[in-house]
Amino acid sequence: MNFPELKRITIDPNVMGGKPCIRGIRVTVGTITGLLSTGITIEELLNLYPYIEKDDVYTALAYASWRAEEYELELETA
């Protein structure tokens, strides 16, 4: 991942089993996007998790959007 706007996303096998997290803390991109999908507002989310910032939420959404556009190609094996 070489996108500077996604630098707030970290992937560490020792944190949340290697799931994409916000700045190495135990809040996953999936947690943020999942809560937003239920209708919670960003302000409510920030109140639930006071240690994350609004830019973290926007970065999580950007990362999730980027990943949703990916697709896998089958490669021939030798």
- List, in order of start, the domains of the chain with CATH numbers: 4-63 (1.10.10.10)
pLDDT in tens, 35-65: 999 999 999 999 999 999 999 999 999 999 8
Nearest alpha-carbon partner for 45 in 70, 63, 27 = 27
pTM: 0.81
Mean pLDDT of the chain: 87
Residue 68: is its pLDDT beyond 90? no
Residue 25: is its pLDDT beyond 90? yes
Residue 3: is its pLDDT beyond 60? no
Residue 1: is its pLDDT beyond 50? no
